Amino acid sequence: MDLSEIVAGYDDELRTSDYADVDASSNGLQVGPDEREVETVAFAVDAAEQTVEAAADRGADLLVTHHGLSWGGIERVTGSQYGRIAPLIENDVALYVSHLPLDGHQELGNAAGIADLLGLESRDPFGELGPEHVGQRGTAPDPVPTDRLRETLESELDHFGQGVRVLDFGPEKIEDVAIVTGSGVDWLDEAVESGADALVTGEGKQKAYHEAREAGITVFLGGHYATETFGVRSLQSVAEEWGLETTYIDAPTGL
């Protein structure tokens, strides 16, 4: 399959261009020629030396990640930036990136993956960012005790042994859940305004403790990496449907 077809397919499905004005990430093809034949695609959360080298070792023609190398432009290719880009070029591995478009996709996205994990129903887009959304909100079929929801997340997320932290200030049983993965605690106010019992996200900030306590909402902190493996896994499934060979590179950070 030609690289241009893969890029066009992902860009169309993820509505990449719609996020151009709200995302610092340069989404889409970040490294590579306009056209080349692709047989094997590697998938990872982060574009880093570790994942780039693993993709090359596995014979991948293309690496697809959630976090890329260009956040609004690259001024110099030196130091760590050189260390990440050089192996891509030397091994002829292209790099495709989808940041917020993959967060916001209501079927393939990171939040959608966690909603699937929790079995949420009656889902709606959540996490407004300009005209777009970067998360999802849904309802549990039956109210779930906080400890059971934490256990579900802890048993399924790739948190590198760090566990799931909980700011337990909401009701004893949780029904309405808002999800923004990664660094999504900034949408805590929106979760409160929406009437959610809990916000599931990756990492927290100091101020979130008091904000959650004062608002009476529970916050689950599952880890930035751990909550953002779902989107690239979904893109891997899409690539397999296209008839491509795929491989997943797991490089958890515990953060």
Binding residues for a divalent metal cation: 66-67, 103, 224, 228
Which two structure tokens, joined as six digits, stand for 134? Answer: 């970067």
Burial of 33 (0-12, 13-18, 19+ CB in 10 A): exposed
List, as residue ranges, the binding site.
66-67, 103, 224, 228
Is the distance from CB of 36 to CB of 88 less than 8 angstroms? Answer: no
Is the distance from CB of 239 to CB of 6 less than 8 angstroms? Answer: yes
Cα(25)–Cα(125) distance, rounded to whole angstroms? 21
**SS3 for 89?**
helix
The packing angle between helices 230-241 and 3-14, to 10°, is: 130
Which phi and psi (to 5°) does residue 78 adopt? -140, 170
List b or e across 56-69, with b for residues whose CB sees 16 or more CB atoms inside 10 angstroms: bebebbbbbbbbbb
Element (H, E) at 96: strand 94-97
Cα(180)–Cα(199) distance, rounded to whole angstroms? 8
